[in-house]
Chains A and B, each alone.
Chain A
Amino acid sequence: MSDISRDTMLLTTPFHSRVEAMCDLNDWGNWMGYTTPNAYFDVELEYFAVRSTTGVFDLSPMNKYRVTGPDAQRYLDRLITRDVSKIGINRVGYAIWCDDNGQIMDDGTIFRLGEQDYRICSYQRADDWLAWNKLGFDVTIDNESEAVAGLAVQGPTSCTVLTLLGCTDLNQLKPFGIAHYTFEGQPLMVSRTGFTGDLGYEVWVPPETAEALWDQLFELGRDYLIKPIGSYALELARIEAGFLQANVDFMPAEEVVRVGRTRSPFELGLGWLVDFSKPLFNGRSALLKEQANGSRYRFAMLDVEGNKPAEHSFILKGDKQVGTVTSAAWCPTAKANIAYAQIEMPHGAVGDELVAEIYYQRELHWTRLLAPCKVIDAPIFKSPKRWQTPAPPH
């Protein structure tokens, strides 16, 4: 034994003791300064837990900001591009926020917990941005990131497992709904949200009950084939289901150094989240101008021929390079080879036929492949379970 103190670079989440015990592969990554598993036992089987049974993902490192006070709604309406008043109490809204140039800073979810009580859940840290935007508004902003531990509980049997945990009538909860329960004498909040495109929930508890939550979930979920999943499996599920990822599919606007590397909501296929009927919000005038004059890029989902993922590929139209791929995967359930690409206008409309220039290596030998691909109009994986209420039992 030694008494050398161990001040590690990376933090651990409130679930870490349990996560570590199940992480057979000892394959760890760094997410927002936290030690998080890339994979627990087998990426493919973890992915299939989400699609066939229940997969549990520790999302505690997500950034959480509580926004309260008389001006909370007005504040958020200026901050984000969609109409916040349309998010009812105990409802969640997917949202993006832009800088003054109409360029995306981040995407996230807005939880409405009360009349003037909201929580922003974001991938990026937003303390600085939220503070500057507060000027003149009567709101309080608390960084709750460490005060709220979270698990994504996703997959066809997830509703059944959480119901056994005490989440009564959870199957009646509609997509993007919130329900409140008590667990171990502490509040437990469930939202029907997720990043997998399947039936699924996110469960939020104070850190003190995190380990008990994990233990009970896995005990009660055993007969429903519950399994932990790491970030690699989640990545596969989110590409198949059509979700964008900050720092992968777009750069947070304020972190960009080089001119022209930011993207607007229109350029990421998120124009539907921009509500010009609001008189003012960050980026509104720039976005109006873009709407009138046209965008530089178009977000395209590509169905790529063959089975080689078009990772980091250039996209060609004839001989001309017109775009690049940001995310790509062979999608195991949809059985399709999908890529997200940024395509220079006017190319990349639905139905447009392009070519992906794919490079892959086998046994140190590189091969260049020109794979025809087609722009599709919707994510390739569509689970009816995601939208069904009452939620199906499996």
Chain B
Amino acid sequence: MNQYDAIVIGAGHNGLTNGAYLAKAGLKVAVLERNPYIGGATVSRELHKGWWYSNCSYVSSLLRPEITRDLELPRHGLQVVSFGGGATFMRNGDHFGNYSDHDRHYREMARHSKRDANAYDRYAADTSLQTKLIRPYLMRTPPDPTSMKPRDLRDLLEFARSFMDLGEEKLLDTIKFWTASVGDYLHEYFETDVIKAHMAGSGIIGTALGVYSPGTAYVLLHHYMGDVDGNVGAWGFARGGMGAIADALSKAFQSYGGEIICDANVDEIIVKNGQAAGVALKDGTEYKAPIVVSNLDPKRTFLDITNPSDLPKDVLKKARNFKIRGSSGKLNIALDGLPVFNGLDPRNRLMAGDLHFSDSLERQERAYDDWKAGTWSKDPYLDMMIPSLTDPTMAPPGKHMMSVFVQYAPPKVEGREWTDEDKDGFEKSVIDQISNYSPNFRDLILHCETRTPREIEAEVGLTEGNIFMGELTFDQLLFNRPFPGYAQYRSPIKGMYMCSSGTHPGGGVMAAPGANAAREILADLKRPNTVPGGYADD
């Protein structure tokens, strides 16, 4: 009993994906979950009767279509539905709208600046070029630059060639892009505050950096490289909330014979003679397996559930120094009706997209200043959605569910733990921000779930509540993710692997880390590969 070929710790989307591919290869696999429900941060919860919250992750565009198709997730009930639109509301009562149609979008930009509207095409081409460089590597293990193995040398050569093929000018642009701040990158194209601020949001979401911090241009890219049906950069909701993704993955996993065990809180990975041998739960139960895969973030994996005597010092050091800073919080709100914003007709299609209130880079940077000072932003950057305008299953007819991603929220408040009073203050700053632009908003609130980094860490297990399980800066990307020498999903312990968003290619409900890790595990076991490659870029 309790003997498996492989054990995966954590039933988030990457753990379930990893388990599904191992089970598909014929392994007897168990996925262990600490909570009584699966999903991790990919979850839908009915916290107010009749209203469903995607109470952590809230949009799905990065979920790899190769995996969705290969694991037949639509057959297992997953339906991803595109949404469109979006706007940044301005202090002067105006707004900047985001239209999917190119020429309608031009007209809206031109209303603010003809020059910016024209520059958008150059911006779109340059940004697309950068996504084209990175997209082919999403469904692949990053090459190890120090390795002499043929596979690593071949992949490194290919990687280098794709950069050298750019020519001198674009290569220099690329190097600049990967290290630049999103603010500086946008300055190269645009002159209008609200346009820059609208676009800069993607550069800071989930990151403890400001719009002028180096490295944030890449974070913007991370949000643009997804696709819904080949429409690169388009965004979608999972019908029924993000939990629908975990549900479909769990059904796929179970269809291959996999077993999910909830309320299984892992205390320690059991290692015998340098080889993983299973896990011990906090309640004393033991599960045995020669393969143990951790879907916890790198810090929890190496500092919490692995015995330090089983690990070399350099890994403990790298894990301790891994950057995984809490920077965001979330409000999930049940609304009695549709709020009205700044004179925008509530029936306007822009309402169904991502809505924001920071109309300048200056305001976004000041919001970051508050975080540095150890408190939540007084003028927070919000990435706000009303999924019930696209998915009728999220709230009763005519009522709405609102998801408000909030930046910034520090992991600790002025160096101490969050208190309930802090949480109330944080909540108030967000409600006030929205109310400043929507006179009827406050009266429509029926229920509000507020999650600071404290709640996210406690419930989901993300260290400091960092949504990406580690900052997406160049020092922690590709062959540096989670740390140099360990970017190919293997740990220093034989038979122990990593598959979380803390590994390449990072967070965002892609499921690629889980799939890529399974490919490496199967290769080590000399089993036939069950994991698909990425679609060729065009």
Please list the residues of chain A having a beta carbon within 8 angstroms of any beta carbon in chain B: 24-25, 41-42, 44-45, 48, 51-53, 156-157, 160, 222-225, 306-308, 330, 332-336, 360, 362, 367, 381, 394
Whether B73 and A335, one on each chain, are in contact in the complex, defined by CB atoms closer than 8 angstroms, is yes
B79, chain A: closest CB distance, angstroms: 6
* B184 smallest CB distance to A (angstroms): 28
When C-beta atoms are compared, the residue in chain B nearest to A308 turns out to be: B538
Which residues B95-116 have CB closer than 8 A to chain A? 100-101, 104
- Residues of chain A within 8 A (CB-CB) of B130 are none
Give bound CA distance, A41 to B85, whole Å.
Answer: 11
Chain A interface mostly: loop
Partner among B68, B82, B392, B535 whose Cβ is within 8 Å of the Cβ of A53: B392
Complex alpha-carbon distance, A157 and B311, angstroms: 56
- Identify the 3 closest CB pairs spanning chains A and B, nearest first: A223-B398, A223-B397, A52-B81
Q: Identify B392's interface contact among A24, A224, A308, CB under 8 A.
A: A224
Enumerate chain A residues within 8 angstroms of B68, measured Cβ to Cβ.
335
Say yes or no: A335-B65 contact (C-beta < 8 A), given A223-B397, A330-B229: yes
Q: For the complex, give the distance between the alpha carbons of A238 and B250 in Å.
A: 30
Is B79 within 8 A of A52, CB to CB?
A: yes
Contact, CB under 8 Å: B392 / A45:
no
B536 touching A306, Cβ below 8 Å: yes
What 1/0 mask marks residues of chain B from 346 to 367 whose CB sits below 8 Å from any chain A CB?
A: 0101000000000000000000
Instruction: Report the nearest A residue to B239, measured CB to CB.
Output: A52
Partner of A45, one of B83, B230, B391, B398: B83
CA distance A41 to B104 in the complex (A): 10
Give bound CA distance, A334 to B78, whole Å. Answer: 9
A–B pairs, 5, beta carbons within 8 Å: A41-B349, A51-B81, A52-B391, A307-B65, A367-B538
Q: Decide: A225 near B390, CB < 8 A? Known: A306-B536, A307-B65.
A: yes
- A44 with B74: in contact, given A332-B229, A335-B68, A335-B69 (CB under 8 Å)? no
Contact between chains at A394 and B392 (CB < 8 Å): yes
Q: Given A45-B83, A332-B229, A335-B68, does the pair A225, B100 have CB atoms closer than 8 Å? A: no
Tell me which of B73, B82, B230, B392 contacts A157 (CB under 8 A).
B392
Besides the known contacts A225-B392, A335-B69, 7 further A-B residue pairs in the complex with CB atoms under 8 A apart: A44-B82, A160-B397, A223-B398, A330-B230, A333-B80, A334-B74, A335-B65
Most buried by B among A48, A53, A157: A48
Q: In the assembled complex, which residues on chain B have CB atoms less than 8 Å from the CB atom of A362?
A: 538
B234 within 8 A of A: yes
A307–B68 CA distance with the chains assembled, in angstroms: 13
Separation of A45 and B538 alpha carbons in the complex (Å): 24
Interface status of B255 (Cβ within 8 A of chain A): no
Which residues on the A side are within 8 Å of B397 (C-beta)?
160, 223-224
Within 8 A of A (CB), among B395-424: 397-398
Contacts of B83 in A (CB 8 A): 45
B40-79 interface bits toward A, Cβ cutoff 8 Å, 1 = contact, 0 = none: 0000000000000000000000000100110001100001
A48, B82: Cβ atoms closer than 8 Å: yes
Closest to B78 in A: A335
How many Å from the CB of A29 to the closest CB on chain B? Answer: 17
Docked-complex contact A332 and B538, CB < 8 angstroms: no
Asked whether, in the complex, the Cβ of A225 is within 8 Å of the Cβ of B231, the reply is: no
Contact check, B229 vs A336: say whether CB atoms are below 8 A apart.
no
A23-B440 Cα distance, complex, nearest whole Å: 30
Given contacts A45-B83, A333-B79, contact A225 B389 (CB under 8 A): yes
| Chain A contacts for B529, CB-based, 8 A | none
Measured in the bound complex, the distance between the Cα atoms of B394 and A53 in whole Å is: 12
Given contacts A44-B82, A223-B398, A335-B65, contact A307 B535 (CB under 8 A): yes
Quick one: given A307-B65, A334-B74, A335-B65, are A52 and B390 in contact (CB under 8 Å)? yes
Collect the chain A residues with CB atoms within 8 Å of residue B536's CB.
Answer: 306
Report chain A residues within 8 Å CB of B393: 394
How far, in angstroms, from A264 to B483 measured CA to CA in the complex?
63
Q: List chain A residues, Cβ under 8 A from B82.
A: 44-45, 48, 332
Within 8 A of A (CB), among B487-538: 535-536, 538
Residue of B nearest to A221 (CB): B397
Q: Are B100's CB and A42's CB within 8 A?
A: yes
How many Å lie between the Cα of A150 and that of B229 in the bound state? 31
Q: Chain A nearest CB: distance from B531 CB in Å?
A: 15
A333 to B239 alpha-carbon distance, docked (Å) = 11
Q: Is there contact, CB below 8 Å, between A332 and B392?
A: no
Q: Is the CB of A360 within 8 A of B392?
A: no
B84 within 8 Å of A (CB atoms): yes
Of chain B, the residue at the smallest CB distance from A47 is: B82
Q: B228 at the A/B interface (Cβ < 8 Å)? A: yes
Closest to B234 in A: A44
How many whole Å from A297's CB to the nearest CB in chain B? 28
State A42–B80 Cα separation when bound (angstroms). 17
Contact A44–B231 (Cβ < 8 Å): yes
Known: A53-B392, A330-B230, A335-B69. A306 touches B535 (CB 8 A): yes
Q: Whose C-beta in chain B lies nearest to the C-beta of A155?
A: B392
Given contacts A44-B234, A360-B538, contact A332 B390 (CB under 8 A): no
A332–B81 CA distance with the chains assembled, in angstroms: 8
**Chain A residues, Cβ within 8 Å of B535:** 306-307
The distance from the CB of B63 to the nearest CB of chain A, in whole angstroms, is: 10
* Alpha-carbon gap, A44 to B80, bound state (A): 12
CB nearest neighbor in A for B69: A335
The distance from the CB of B298 to the nearest CB of chain A, in whole angstroms, is 31
**Separation of A44 and B100 alpha carbons in the complex (Å):** 10
In contact, A307 and B230 (Cβ under 8 angstroms): yes
Q: How far is the CB of A227 from chain B (nearest CB, A)?
A: 9
The reply to whether B69 and A332 form a contact with Cβ atoms under 8 Å apart is no
CA distance A122 to B480 in the complex (A): 62
Beyond A52-B79, A333-B74, whether A25 also contacts B392 by CB under 8 A is no
Assembly CA distance A308 to B104 (angstroms)? 27
Q: Which residues of A sit under 8 angstroms from B347, Cβ to Cβ? A: 222
Cβ-closest chain A residue relative to B535: A307
Cβ contact within 8 Å between A25 and B81:
no
B-chain residues with CB within 8 Å of residue A51 when the two chains form the complex: 79, 81
User: Are A156 and B538 in contact (CB-based, < 8 A)?
Assistant: no
**CA–CA, A306 and B532, complex, Å:** 11
Interface string of B215-250 (1 = CB under 8 A from A): 000000000000011110010000100000000000
> Which of chain B's residues has its CB closest to A384's CB?
B77
CB-defined contacts of B392 to chain A, threshold 8 Å? 52-53, 156-157, 224-225, 394
- Output the least CB separation between B3 and chain A (Å): 36
A254 and B332 CA atoms in complex are apart in Å by 61
CB distance from B33 to the nearest CB of A (A): 26
Q: In the complex, A49 Cα to B82 Cα: how many Å?
A: 9
* B339 vs chain A, min Cβ distance (A): 15
Chain B residues whose C-beta falls within 8 Å of the C-beta of A44 in the assembled complex: 82, 84, 100, 228-229, 231, 234
Chain B residues, CB < 8 A from A42: 84, 100-101
CA distance in complex: A42, B231 (Å): 12
Distance (Å) between the CB of A116 and the closest chain B CB?
Answer: 42
